[in-house]
Structure 1
Amino acid sequence: MPSKPLHRPSILDIARDAGVSPATVSRAFNRPQLLKPDTLQRIERVARKSRFRPNRLGSGLRSGSTRTIGMALPTLRNPVFAECFEGAEAWAHDNGYSIMVTTTGYDVTREAAAVHSLIDHQVEGVLLAVANAARSATLRELAEDGLPYVLVYNESPSHPCVSVDNMAAAGDMLCWLAGQGHTRIALVTGPLAASDRARRRLQGARACARKLGLPPPAHLPMPSHTAADVGILRQALRERPAPTALFCSNDLLAVSVIAQLRALGLHVPQALSVCGFDGMHLAALMVPPLTTVEQPSRDIGATACAQLLARLRGESAVSLRLPHRLMAGGTVAAAAPSP
């Protein structure tokens, strides 16, 4: 049998039971400061008893403000992006906004479709990470339409953004590896076309190597941003001289690299050192803990949300770089002396 529709009390029901007009009930939930305290308490008491919830979307559409912002992230499988969302959502909630989130799978086509879907749902602004901020048609479209937006993780001189300095952070890690005696270092990344963050980390590592007079780090591009290809690793380790340290462009990729090395019979860090980038909380729970560059993902989300809400108030958004931190775990050991 078909289920019976759930009865939801309306403003008219609450007004009747509280002995006030529907307009007074509306003010109780939208502008409570305009009501006398005893009237407001009576309406709230009736609403709680009836389990009444105001229709925020309907009232928002009527007023021209949905109090909703959109967020488009590459994936939520990576804890870093989930932390970013949590930071943004907490800030939005504290300021009377909700967030509608969608994922793009590191795909430019899905990226555009995801943002279009958010716009169709009447969001007032967008937080997003794109594949390439310098070439993004999605960002150009948002700018042309006049819809406020702020980038998370991407760095750009042309678009408002909140990130870390990816080149400097990668340079700091490479310098630290060099301090551990590693001169043969390889950068492991996903497809650079789908992540300008990974590209900047590669550039930063290579710039630091030049400054230190080290050989240019090799580049091992993987088909995926979060999964290592054992064949590519096997071939890299057959090179002579082989790398002694693998610097991965994100922590999930580093975890996958360590697992694939173990499948090849190689233990980290005894046979090979491995480090990552992101500082996801799981990294500290690994055995041994992962050596990584920590970026404050929750703060990136919260700060970007604050900048977006400032834009919605008519203020100018400010691009910000938040501080990174090197976390020395147990997956990097001093390089063995060259034979």
Structure 2
Amino acid sequence: MPHKNLQRLSIIDIARDAGVSPATVSRAFNRPDLLKADTLQRIKAVADEHGFRPNRVGSSLRSGSTRTLGLVLPTLRNPVFAECFEGAEQYAHAHGYSVMVASTSYAPATEAAAVQSLIDHQVEGLILTVGNPARSSTLRTLTAQGLPYVLAYNESATHPFVSVDNGAAASDMVSLLAARGHRRIAIISGPLTASDRARRRLAGARSQARKLGLDDVAHLPMASHTEADSEQLRALLDAPQAPTALFCSNDLLAASVISRLRGLGLSVPADISVCGFDGMTFAALMVPPLTTIEQPSHDIGARACASLLACLQGETPPSLRLAHRLISGGTVAAATSAAS
């Protein structure tokens, strides 16, 4: 092929040299899933050889479609949400979409501002995690504007979502603790107003404890979702009938709790058992490895993206609860007679 000025290279040039139509070249960059693998590979090879990249701005102006999705998460400091972003972004990219991400720091006002910013950037739909779907003004705004959205991690009877069954997962953990002889269990979480996931886990744990005839599950809320306070832990463990096991609402909080307990002179699990929720990669690298509930965060992001793209095609995909997995690590031991 004769050399061309890259600034003048067009879809028509790529189509001619790849032996396909301009429409097929357009689909290769906008809807690659519609093409056969060999056709897609041939077009990409010609484009790569000559450094061709499609003009996304021009394409958006012509088609009225930005092929951009919004993703709103509480934070990217928590690897759970980073994995969710990765799953959503990879799925979107494979289907010709880009993803713009924003974080909210668990603050409703920041959440509303982040969503509005993404709307201003003309995203075609949103994947988001909110504090409380039942009371979310953000979801009411999206519904009023008719912008498609799918929740990730939240569970709701009235909004489309992809999540695990948080209550059932917490029930499984309580059953494990009960099987190890623990009758007094406390849930450690961040502020419940900012996380319906923590609320559901607390409710599931309490319900299962009642079914198993255990003591009422105590609840110790921390000011942060991922950072424990030593004095609050000391007060909990100095109280009469102190818990023998601490069930933390996420793995980062569990790691912080274990660190603070060691600062108080306690050994995990010899003196007290600790478990978490999320199944992060680092949890298996802790010494001892953390007992936790694994949720498939990468798949949650990917499946939420798939549901959102289905919505953009006019479909109404069902909400999904993906399977969780109980990981029995070394931070839970049998309740000792002294502790009990």
Normalising by structure 2, report the TM-score. Answer: 0.89
Is the Cα contact below 8 Å between 1:100 and 1:118 reproduced in 2?
yes
AA aligned to 2:199 is R
Residue 128 and residue 19 in structure 1: after superposition, are their counterparts in 2 closer, same or farther (change >3 A)?
A: closer
Q: CA deviation at 1:62?
A: 2.3
Report SS of the residue matched to 2:77: coil
In structure 1, what is the Cα distance between the partners aligned to 2:44 and 2:221?
61
Q: CA deviation at 1:30?
A: 1.1
AA aligned to 2:330 is G
Q: Which residue of 1 aligns with 2:196?
A: 196
Residue 190 and residue 31 in structure 1: after superposition, are their counterparts in 2 closer, same or farther (change >3 A)?
A: closer
Residue 222 and residue 49 in structure 1: after superposition, are their counterparts in 2 closer, same or farther (change >3 A)?
A: same
Q: CA deviation at 1:67?
A: 1.1
Q: Which residue of 2 aligns with 1:30?
A: 26
Root-mean-square deviation (CA, aligned residues, Å) is 2.6
Q: How does 1:220-299 map to 2 (within 5 A)?
A: 220-299=220-299
Q: Which residue of 1 aligns with 2:142?
A: 142
Mean Cα displacement is larger for which, 59-68 or 304-313? 59-68
Unaligned runs of 5+ in 1: 1-7
Report SS of the residue matched to 1:144: helix
Q: CA deviation at 1:17?
A: 8.5
Q: Is the counterpart of residue 93 in structure 1 residue 89 in structure 2?
A: no
In structure 1, what is the Cα distance between the partners aligned to 2:170 and 2:14?
62
Q: Deviations over 1:269-303 (max 9, x none)?
A: 11110000011111111111000011111111111
In structure 2, what is the Cα distance between the partners aligned to 1:175 and 1:16?
64
Residue 147 and residue 330 in structure 1: after superposition, are their counterparts in 2 closer, same or farther (change >3 A)?
A: same
Q: Which residue of 1 aligns with 2:31?
A: none
In structure 2, what is the Cα distance between the partners aligned to 1:196 and 1:134?
9
Residue 16 and residue 327 in structure 1: after superposition, are their counterparts in 2 closer, same or farther (change >3 A)?
A: closer
In structure 1, what is the Cα distance between the partners aligned to 2:44 and 2:177?
64
Is the Cα contact below 8 Å between 1:18 and 1:43 reproduced in 2?
no
In structure 1, what is the Cα distance between the partners aligned to 2:117 and 2:281?
31
Report SS of the residue matched to 1:270: coil
In structure 2, what is the Cα distance between the partners aligned to 1:49 and 1:206?
61
In structure 1, what is the Cα distance between the partners aligned to 2:312 and 2:301?
17
Q: CA deviation at 1:65?
A: 1.0
In structure 2, what is the Cα distance between the partners aligned to 1:263 and 1:76?
28
Is the Cα contact below 8 Å between 2:72 and 2:127 reproduced in 1?
yes
Is the Cα contact below 8 Å between 2:162 and 2:300 reproduced in 1?
yes
Report SS of the residue matched to 1:134: helix
Q: CA deviation at 1:94?
A: 1.4
Is the Cα contact below 8 Å between 1:28 and 1:43 reproduced in 2?
no
Is the Cα contact below 8 Å between 2:292 and 2:328 reproduced in 1?
yes
Identical amino acids, percent of aligned pairs:
63
Q: CA deviation at 1:13?
A: 4.9
Residue 14 and residue 90 in structure 1: after superposition, are their counterparts in 2 closer, same or farther (change >3 A)?
A: closer
Q: Deviations over 1:73-106 (max 9, x none)?
A: 0011111111111111111111111111111111
Report SS of the residue matched to 1:278: coil
Q: CA deviation at 1:313?
A: 0.5
Q: Which residue of 1 aligns with 2:65?
A: 65
Residue 294 and residue 43 in structure 1: after superposition, are their counterparts in 2 closer, same or farther (change >3 A)?
A: closer
Q: Which residue of 2 aligns with 1:166?
A: 166
Report SS of the residue matched to 2:183: coil
Residue 186 and residue 121 in structure 1: after superposition, are their counterparts in 2 closer, same or farther (change >3 A)?
A: same
Q: Which residue of 2 aligns with 1:325?
A: 325
AA aligned to 1:316 is T
Q: Which residue of 1 aligns with 2:81?
A: 81
Normalising by structure 1, report the TM-score. Answer: 0.89
Kindly report structure 1 stretches of 4+ aligned residues shifted beyond 2 Å. Answer: 12-20, 24-29, 31-34, 40-45, 47-52
Report SS of the residue matched to 2:100: strand
Q: CA deviation at 1:186?
A: 0.5
Q: CA deviation at 1:157?
A: 0.3
Q: CA deviation at 1:52?
A: 3.2
In structure 2, what is the Cα distance between the partners aligned to 1:43 and 1:148?
31
Q: CA deviation at 1:212?
A: 1.1
